[in-house]
Structure 1
Amino acid sequence: MNTAVTLGYVHGYSDHEALRLGCQADTLAGLLHAGTAYPAGSRVLEVGCGVGAQTVHLAAGSPRARIVAVDVCEASLVQARARVAAAVPRARVEWRRADVRDLPFADGEFDHVFVCFVLEHLVDPVGVLSGLRRVLRPGGTITVIEGDHGSALFHPPSRYARAAIDALVQLQATAGGDALIGRRLQPLLDSSGYDGVEVCPRTVYVDRTRPALVDGFTRSTLIAMVEALREDALAAGLLTPMDWDRGIADLRRIADEGGTVHYTFFKACAVNPPRG
C-alpha cells in the first residue's frame, strides 16, 4: 500500500494481515474478478498490489496479458513475487516498487489499469485516479474495486458488533482513508475525468448452507479484519475493553448456526477519454 498518499495503512503489515488478504482474495475471486479478463498482449498496470493476493487472480484470468504490478513496500513485493510464482508459475508479471503519485512509466503506456482495495486508504483518491490517466492510453480502461463497511448487515443483531465495525471505519478515517468509499466510486471516477463509468454491486451473502463462505469470508475476512484492530480501537478510546470484547464475541456468533451476514463490494469500470 502506498504510504506516500495515506497517513497509514490501518490494517498493518503483519503476517496475520498477509494471510487475511490471501484468504479474502481467494474466497471472493469468483465474485470480484468475474468479467475481468484482458486480451493477449495487452499491458495491464495493477496499482497497490501489496502481497499479490489479487495479482494471482489477475494473472490466472488473463494468462497472456503483460501485467506490471507496483507497490511502495518492498517487503510486500517480495511476498507478492513468491505468492504468484507458487500459484501461477507461468504468469507474466513484472514487479516494480513505485509511488502511485509518481509512476515511472511513459504516457499512455498501459491498455488497462486495475485498482483493488487501494482507494479506501488514500488521502486524495481523485488526485490519484486523475494521475493514473497519464499512463493509461486514450480509450484504455480502468477497473476499481472497493468495499463499503456500511453495507455490512448481520444476524443476530448486536449494537456491540456494530460498534466494533464502526470503530474500524473511524480508525480508517483518522488514518486519512474512507472505509465507506465503495458507494462513492461513480462520482470519484467521474470527477477524475473518466468516461462511461459503470458501477456494479457485488454482494456476498453467507449463512450455514454456505460453509466455505462462513469460513473464508465471515471468519477469515470480516471478523479477522475487525478483531485485529483491538489495541488501536482501545487506544483511541472508541470503545471500552468490555464493549469491544462483547462486540467481537457477537460478531463470532454470526458464524455459528443461525447466523447470517451480507456485505456489498462495488466494482467500477471506466474509459480514459482522448486527450485534448
Structure 2
Amino acid sequence: MHRLLRAFFQNARKPDGAAGRVMLWAMNWGHASLAKWGRAHVSPEPDARVLDIGCGGGANLAQFLKLCPQGHVCGIDFSTESVASSLRKNAGAVAAGRCEVRQGDVSRLPYADGSFDLATAFETVYFWPDVPAAFAEVFRVLRPSGVFLIVNEESGDSRWCAIVDGMRTYAADTLTEWLHAAGFDDVKADIREDGALCLVAKKAPDSV
C-alpha cells in the first residue's frame, strides 16, 4: 500500500489534523448502519446517564441524546480531534448541559464509581492496549444493574489489522471471558453473518 494512504488510515486509531477530520466524517457515515444495529440491543431509560467510550465523531452521542431525552450523555476519546468533532456535532446539547465530551483514556476513566447506567464502545476495543483492565474500569463506573454494550467486528482475517498500527480484533468467547473476569455476571453475544459482533454485559444489581 502506498505510504501516504497507509498514513491516512492510521487516523482510524487516533484521528489527527485535517486527515483526521476526514476520517471522523467517514466513520460517522460508514459506521451508521452497524451502530444502529448495535444500539437496538439496549433500551436505556429516558433519563439514563450514558458514557460512549471512543466517541469519535460524536454520531452515537447524538443518537443517545435522542434516546434519552431527559438523560445526560458523556463521551470520552484520547484524540483531541475526536473530542472537537464530537463537541461540534452535539453543540446544542453541550450548551444545554445535557452532553459533555472529555479527552481521556479508557484505562483511567475520569469518572466516579457508579456514574453511569449504560457504557458503550463502538468499534474501539480494537485499539485498547489492555482490554481486561479496561473492562474492569468500565465495570467500576457503571451503577448496579448497569449495562456495557460493545459493537465491532469479531476476530478473523481483518485486512484492517494489517493496515492500521495497533489494531486487533477478538473472538466473542475471548471478550466474554474478560467481561466475566471484570465482574459482569450476564454476557450475551450476537454475531451477524458478516462478522459484526454485539456484546451486552450486565452488572449485577447487588454489585458494588
Provide TM-score, normalisation by structure 2: 0.78
Residue number in structure 2 paired with 1:158: none
Q: Where does residue 137 of structure 2 map in the other structure?
A: 131
Cα distance change on mapping 1:89 and 1:60 into 2, 3 Å: farther
- Whichever of the two has the greater Rg, that structure is 1
Alignment of 1:85-234 (within 5 A): 85=91, 92-148=98-154, 150=156, 166=159, 168-172=160-164, 175-181=165-171, 184-203=174-193
Deviations 1:154-178 (A, max 9, x none): xxxxxxxxxxx53x32345xx3331
* 8 Å Cα contact 1:120/1:181 also seen in 2: no
Tell me if 1:44 matches 2:36.
no
Unpaired segments of 5 or more residues in structure 2? 1-9
Once the two structures are TM-superposed, the CA of residue 12 in structure 1 deviates from its matched residue by 4.9
RMSD over aligned Cα, in angstroms?
2.9
Structure 2 counterpart of 1:134, which letter? R
> Counterpart in 2 of 1:155?
none
Structure 1 outlier segments of 4+, above 4 Å: 8-12, 86-91, 180-183
Q: Distance in 1 between matches of 2:171 and 2:125?
A: 8
Q: Is the 8 A contact 1:146 1:182 kept in 2?
A: no
> C-alpha separation between the residues in 2 aligned to 1:85 and 1:132?
26
Higher relative contact order (CA closer than 8 Å, sequence separation 6+)? 1
CA distance in 1, matches of 2:96, 2:192: 29
Contact 2:52/2:60, CA 8 A, preserved across alignment: no
- The answer on 1:269 being equivalent to 2:197 is no
The percentage of aligned residue pairs carrying the same residue is 23
Q: How many residues align?
A: 194
* Letter paired with 1:64: Q
